[in-house]
Structure 1
Amino acid sequence: MQPTLLILAAGMASRYGSMKQMEGFGPAGETIMDYSIYDAIRAGFGKVVFIIRKDFADNFKAVFEPKLKGRIEIDYVYQQLDSLTNGYPVPASRTKPWGTAHAILCAKDAINEPFAVINADDFYGRDAFEKAYTFLTTACSPKQQSIIGYELARTLSANGTVSRGVCDVDGENNLVSISERTKIYAEGEKIVYEDAAGKHEVPYNSSVSMNFWCFDASIFKLTEDLFATFLKEHGQEEKSEFFIPIVADTYIKQELGVVKVIPTSSQWFGVTYKEDAPGVQKSVDDLVAAGEYPSSLWS
């Protein structure tokens, strides 16, 4: 069974200031998402499921369906504030849905096979998709999930600080925990992050999460159970979010299985800030010039 690619594209792009998922960076106007889908297709993925906002659906479909028709199976899932809340009273002041793990849960009826999860606005690279495909088709099971681990130094922005989930990995390449570090940046030859206690160095070769996960479909049941608990405990907090690492952390701590950290040599890039856009465009142009991608992906 071919694995599925689940793309989280319902975000509001608050820091970037516009709908960056739809911005063209490639020579023929390709979005970052186009490159991810292209890499997934050539790696062997059989279906792509987009998680989007309902009010954005027609616009989104008009852009992607003509390109992808006949190349890969397509499905859509809508992440709304009241999706799968089972009658929970949503705070009147809340406008955003409940985060990345809630987004995954919204796809539970659309996916029955092993699947990868990625962000719409991150460029992950061919190597990452090939490794994800290999894991999903040979090693993924209810007892074994994975995350693609990026080298921290390959994930920084020249235009500001970034937030990264720094992975604690044991001797067998199993994930122990993810520590969310905000305000990470390069300072001379070092990489540091800042918090309330001050400035701290992060090892240059740290493995970090860029939200590229590989899951067995059995993860939906655990996610559903945890979301119900999350709503009871944090549902009245205006900005609380139910993140994928919460699910992974519970999976590990309850000894339901292991989460393998699969290292990739891929260079990540993305548009955290508007000022990142020219650099992203140059990175894509360089990959096209080097023959990694055709100058027009879908023609």
Structure 2
Amino acid sequence: MILLLMAAGSGSRYGKLKQFDDLGPNGEFLMEFGISDALKNGFDHIVLITKKDNVAFLDDHLRSRLPSNIKLDVLAQEITDLPDGCTFEGERTKPWGTAHAVWTARKVIDGPFAVINADDFYGQPAYENAANFMRAHQADNTYALVGYTLKDTLSEHGSVSRGVCKVDGDNLVSVDERLKLVQEEGKVIDLDSGNEYTGNESVSMNFWICKPSIFDKIENDFRTFLDCKDLDAKSELYIPKIIQDMLQAGEIKVKVVPSGGDWFGVTYASDRDAAVAYLKEKTEAGKYTSPLWPNE
């Protein structure tokens, strides 16, 4: 089974590249705990998408730690990686978004795969539930979202963006991207729209289970995206939109798999202390070995 980690962000609100912050008790990156959880549940191929300048460092860092039987691909998400025949004439410094990050891996993935953010902690049960789903749906074109509860994914230090889900049973109906969610007086408010939420809604934390059929869809949508007259230096193409379009077109089914565990992220620099304390607590409780990798 394949795990794809997206680690090409700039960490603008965090103040530095949070993907490489030594949050673990022995200086481990947050992504290493996710990789460890995935390996415990049968994942055997790690694909990491990052910036070109970080490829060699991450390849060396992970290859020296992962068991020898684990396949590793570290790939650069590059602005110049466009579909054949497409061009972009404007100026741009940031990547094209999460859909483009996934598309970057099109040449190394040929089976079902899970997608996560490298700077999020998803909890051990989430990987177990994802792995069980992937084993049960190897032969069909059913995708899945590992869903979390909105109130459990907020930050005390500022607004967050979340994909608020509409769910029918265990079927995903739609994902509504909300960009400035904050908790106020027992409810959750989107500062952009004024929408209010109870906090019990299911949300996407970008833990998706996909099939290779997504690559053609991303390429087609990316072509349309690049043709848009309103395209600017900050426009991005997101995975939830790609999957939602496929869902609404009847091309796929998308199930919502319960996460079954904790989530935390490091959006702001002030989130760091809590993350360090959490990982230390989990390690001392025996959930993780110390050091995390036996060959360190």
The one-letter amino acid paired with 2:23 is F
Q: Is 2:291 the counterpart of 1:296?
A: yes
In the other structure, the counterpart of 2:110 is: 112
Matched, 1:285 2:283: no
Question: Which of 170, 173, 185 is the equivalent residue of 1:188?
Answer: 185
1:56 offset after TM fit, Å? 1.7
Letter in 1 for 2:232: E
The 3 A distance-change label for structure 1 pair 83 and 288 is same
Structure-2 separation of matches of 1:259 and 1:116: 13
1:233 aligns with 2:233: no
Q: Distance in 1 between matches of 2:44 and 2:59?
A: 18
Q: Secondary structure at the match of 2:152?
A: helix
TM-score between the two structures when normalised by the length of structure 2: 0.94
Q: How does 1:4-153 map to 2 (within 5 A)?
A: 4-70=2-68, 72-153=70-151
- Count of residue pairs the alignment pairs up: 294
Give the letter for the 2:246 counterpart: Y
Q: Relative to structure 1, is the Cα distance of residues 234 and 23 closer, same or farther in structure 2, using a 3 angstrom cutoff?
A: farther
Task: Summarize the alignment of residues 130-279 of structure 1 with structure 2, pairs less than 5 Å apart.
Answer: 130-171=128-169, 173-196=170-193, 199-233=194-228, 236-279=231-274
TM-superposed CA distance for 1:142, in Å, is 4.8
- Unaligned stretches of 5+ residues in structure 2: none
Tell me the distance in 2 between the aligned counterparts of 1:272 and 1:87: 37
Code of the aligned partner of 1:24: D
Query: TM-score scaled by structure 1?
Result: 0.94
Amino acid at match of 2:206: N
What are the ranges of 5 or more consecutive residues in structure 1 without an aligned counterpart? none
User: In the alignment, is the contact (CA less than 8 A) between 2:225 and 2:231 conserved in 1?
Assistant: no
**Aligned alpha-carbon RMSD (Å):** 1.6
Name the % identity.
Answer: 42
Residue 68 of structure 1: SS of its match in structure 2? coil
* CA 1:140–1:164: 2 relative to 1, 3 Å: farther
Q: CA shift at 1:91, angstroms?
A: 3.4
